[in-house]
Chain A
Amino acid sequence: MSARVADGVLIIAATFFLALFLAVLPLPEWAAAWRPAWVAMVLVYWCMALPERVGVGTGWLIGLLLDALHATPLGQNAAALAIAAYVTAKNYRRLRLFPVVQQALWVGLMISVNALLTWWVRGIRGLEADPGYYWLPVLTSMLLWPWVFLVLSEARRRYAAP
Chain B
Amino acid sequence: MKSLFSEGPALGFRLTALLLASLLLMTLDHRYDRLEPVRSVLSVVVYPLRYLVHLPVILTDWSSESLVTRRSLTDENHRLRRQNLLLKTRSQRYAALEAENVRLRELLESSVELGDRVLAADVVAMELGSPTREMLLNKGSRHGVYRGQPIIDGNGVVGQVVHVNPISSTALLITDSSHALPVQVVRSGVRAVATGTGSGDALDLAYVAPNADVKPGDLIVTSGMDGRFPAGYPVGAVGEVSLDPNEPFARIRAQTSAKLGQIREVLLVWTTEPKDGRGTPPAERVVQR
Interface assignment of A99: CB less than 8 Å from any CB of chain B = no
**A127, B11: Cβ atoms closer than 8 Å:** no
Establish whether residues B19 and A83, one from each chain, have CB atoms under 8 Å apart when the complex forms.
yes
Does B23 sit at the interface, judged by CB under 8 A? yes
Q: Mark A115-139, 1 if CB is under 8 A from B, else 0.
A: 0000001101111111001000000
Best-buried of A55, A75, A78, A86 by chain B (most CB within 10 Å): A75
B interface, CB within 8 angstroms of A = 1-2, 4, 7, 11-12, 14-15, 18-19, 21-26, 29-30, 35, 38-39, 42-43, 45-46, 49-50, 52-53, 125-132, 134, 162-163, 170, 177-178, 198, 261
Please name all residues of chain B whose beta carbon is closer than 8 Å to the beta carbon of A52 when the two chains form the complex: 1-2, 7
Q: Is the CB of A78 within 8 A of B18?
A: yes
Partner of B15, one of A30, A71, A83: A83
User: Which residues in window 46-81 of A have CB below 8 A to B?
Assistant: 52, 55-57, 60, 64-65, 67-71, 73-76, 78-79
How many angstroms between the C-alpha atoms of A121 and B31 in the bound complex? 12
Contact of A24 with B131 at beta-carbon distance under 8 Å, contacts A57-B18, A65-B42 already known: no
Q: How large is the interface on A (under 10, 10 to 19, 20 to 34, 35 or more residues)?
A: 35 or more
Looking at chain A's contact residues, is the secondary structure mostly helix, strand, loop, or mixed?
helix
Indicate if the CB atoms of A69 and B14 lie closer than 8 Å.
no
Interface residue A160 (Cβ < 8 Å from any Cβ of B): no
Q: Are B198 and A129 in contact (CB-based, < 8 A)?
A: yes
Q: With an 8 A cutoff between CB atoms, is A17 at the interface?
A: yes
Q: Taking each of B2, B14, B177, which has the highest tally of chain A beta carbons within 10 Å of its own beta carbon?
A: B14
- Show 13 A/B contacts (Cβ-Cβ < 8 Å), sorted by A: A21-B49, A25-B53, A56-B11, A60-B21, A64-B42, A67-B42, A69-B46, A71-B134, A86-B11, A86-B12, A90-B11, A125-B30, A127-B177
